[in-house]
Structure 1
Amino acid sequence: MYNLQDLESFVAVAHTGSLTSAANQLGISTATTSHRISKLEGALSLVLFHRNSRNVSLTAEGEVFLERIEQILIDLKQAEIDAGSCSVRGHLRVTVSPWVLNRYLMPRLSEFLGAHSGLTLEFQPIDRYVPLVEERQDCAIRIGQLSDSALVARKICNNERVICASPNLLSKIGQPKTIPDLLSAPWVSLPWQIKVELLNPKKESQMIAIQRPILFRQSDSLTEAAKQGLGLALKSKLAIQQELDEGSLVEVKLNQLAPSQAPIWFVTTSEGKNSPKVKAFRDFVFSVLEKN
């Protein structure tokens, strides 16, 4: 039976018209090339070449075989390239909000890496906006409304923002019932949380500037500060679902936030959208967060 090397030798001889030239091209001896051609002809029960002392030329049967087998070899090489490009391997850099990483992704990371042993991960857990190209990040998980950009974004799930506080704090200051109550209450916040937009009882939009005696640059620290009773906090509901369930934080429902939605997005570059490692991680993120 013939093999791939025999077919490659046949194509080389057909194109060069010489056993010696084909052998030089393939990096093998002329004798080996001649043996491969003879083996192929024997397996096919066909004469593929006319031979003389100086060169070789294809027979009619050889021309038909070359036409068919050359395309097969091209397709086979492309299949090898395509299969290799689909392998999930390399180093993946991800920027993500700390609470998304710690609460949702971390518990299942070992499962993901077990399925992709050729991949390594580097997380940048941070709440600020990170420019992917400038900071050489492959992808990001972002929260809130996105501005127009050249990045490729796909919404993972909806996520409501809520005002929350510890039961101890509310027992001291009372349950806020009006917008002035919110204005006089202590708050803890992220640096960019300067104002909160609310809908008053008449469903009219109203911006309030919150008192911020303590600022935090990390969302998990903000959650802990709210639990400790240091102030009201504006949080993604998914970020504090555990605290709401256990009662260490409660939702302040006096007004409706406007807008109340802070969807979670998977964002990558136009180049990254076709990367096997980015696609694999994106599918993993969706499998974790879509259910919430």
Structure 2
Amino acid sequence: MDKFESMRIFTRIVELKSFTRAAEDLGYPKATVTNAIKQLEARLRVRLLHRTTRQVSPTLDGDAYYTRCIQLLADLEETENVFSQAAANPSGKLRIDMHGTLGRHFVLPVLDQFCTRYPNIELQIGMGDRLVDLVRESIDCVLRVGELQDSSMVARRLASLEQVTCASPAYLELHGEPRHVEDLAAHRAVNFFSAQTGKIYPFEFKVDGERREIAIPGTISVNNADAYKQCCASGFGLIQVPRYGVAGLLASGALREVMPEYRPQPSTVSVLYPHHRQLSPRVRVFVDWLATVFATAM
């Protein structure tokens, strides 16, 4: 087995924390993977991995070697692409994770266009809002909404989403319509909480050019976009969402926008990917296609 393939096996073991899962992912027998690591450690004369019955983790030397392997493997792929047709006709598996509502609204309806244009790319798509570790989970890119937290990733901004505050006509008839942020003290909200932390997200408003966060009490909290809109339409309180997500409900009159003068700043849509994937033809064509999708939709 050549050195580059040994490196690839090692990086997948680190990312998946398992010899067995790495072997399955790469299509090797587990014995081949185990033997490759033994030979690699013998050649380097260092121990690269801690092995327990439950998990595999890198040693300090293993961490350092992993970082170098990732860069070397990326450089190898880039070099080979220069002298092959891969850049013009990319192939292989592309692992993507998308913000669920965003993906369903903007990406999935036109995904057939990408598949027709690049028939040799196999897409593996995760849908959700959880934070993912792109490197450890071997995800090539993610589509997200909001401010970017991970500066170690390459980010490309795709669009800005206008935010609106809404309520149902029945709720407004019962409680009155808020006109100013001070009025919100007498109102109720359907609150949205993080599935990871349980934290309730505050409402945001732009007041005199400044961003202002306001916590509005409520009897119902959810962590699902469809449930969020349904509870609002049922009269449980105010919600704050991207306009695209409630455009149909606003048009039909099932929901009404309130306090348009205090709309928060638009939310940013971005695609993120690890530095070592920025030259991958698969990632590059998908990111470029996403940019076209959002440019057309906005």
- Given the two structures, how large is their TM-score scaled by the length of structure 1? 0.65
2:102 partner amino acid: V
Over 3 Å counting, the alpha-carbon distance change for 1:249 and 1:88 in structure 2 is farther
What per-residue deviation string (whole Å, max 9, x for no partner) do you get for residues 250-289 of structure 1?
A: 211255144x121111111112221111122212222221
Structure 2 CA distance, aligned partners of 1:92 and 1:284?
14
Structure 1 partner of 2:226:
220
What per-residue deviation string (whole Å, max 9, x for no partner) do you get for residues 171-190 of structure 1?
A: 22221123343233221232
Gaps of 5+ in 2: 1-78, 194-198
Q: Does 1:288 align with 2:293?
A: yes
Over 3 Å counting, the alpha-carbon distance change for 1:205 and 1:286 in structure 2 is closer
Q: Does 1:275 align with 2:280?
A: yes
Matches within 5 A, 1:113-192: 113-147=115-149, 149-191=151-193, 192=199
What do you get for the CA RMSD once the two structures are aligned? 2.6
The farther-off stretch of 260-269 and 144-153 is 144-153
Over 3 Å counting, the alpha-carbon distance change for 1:135 and 1:212 in structure 2 is farther
What per-residue deviation string (whole Å, max 9, x for no partner) do you get for residues 105-127 of structure 1?
A: 11111222122222222222212
Structure 2 CA distance, aligned partners of 1:79 and 1:286?
23
User: Does the 8 Å contact 1:183/1:208 carry over to 2?
Assistant: no
Structure 2 partner of 1:5:
none
User: Does the 8 Å contact 1:198/1:255 carry over to 2?
Assistant: no
1:274 partner amino acid: L
Over 3 Å counting, the alpha-carbon distance change for 1:206 and 1:119 in structure 2 is closer
Gaps of 5+ in 1: 1-76
Q: Does 1:264 align with 2:269?
A: yes
Q: 1:90 aligns with which of 92, 99, 108?
A: 92
Count residues in correspondence: 214
The farther-off stretch of 208-217 and 96-105 is 208-217
Q: CA deviation at 1:78?
A: 7.1
Over 3 Å counting, the alpha-carbon distance change for 1:92 and 1:148 in structure 2 is closer
Matches within 5 A, 1:30-109: 81-109=83-111
Segments of 4+ moved more than 3 angstroms? 77-81, 202-207
Q: Does 1:195 align with 2:202?
A: yes
Rg larger in structure: 1
User: Does the 8 Å contact 1:178/1:254 carry over to 2?
Assistant: no
Structure 2 CA distance, aligned partners of 1:92 and 1:170?
47
User: Does the 8 Å contact 2:162/2:243 carry over to 1?
Assistant: yes
Structure 1 CA distance, aligned partners of 2:237 and 2:81?
60
2:91 partner amino acid: R
User: Does the 8 Å contact 2:146/2:269 carry over to 1?
Assistant: yes
Q: CA deviation at 1:206?
A: 4.1
Q: CA deviation at 1:79?
A: 8.1
Structure 1 CA distance, aligned partners of 2:277 and 2:191?
33
User: Does the 8 Å contact 1:91/1:119 carry over to 2?
Assistant: yes
Q: CA deviation at 1:155?
A: 0.8
User: Does the 8 Å contact 2:175/2:187 carry over to 1?
Assistant: yes
What per-residue deviation string (whole Å, max 9, x for no partner) do you get for residues 217-267 of structure 1?
A: 222332232233322111122332333333332211255144x12111111
Q: Does 1:251 align with 2:257?
A: yes
- Given the two structures, how large is their TM-score scaled by the length of structure 2? 0.64
1:182 partner amino acid: L
Structure 2 CA distance, aligned partners of 1:242 and 1:272?
38
Tell me the secondary structure at the aligned position of residue 133 of structure 1: coil
Q: Does 1:241 align with 2:260?
A: no
Percent of aligned positions that are identical: 26
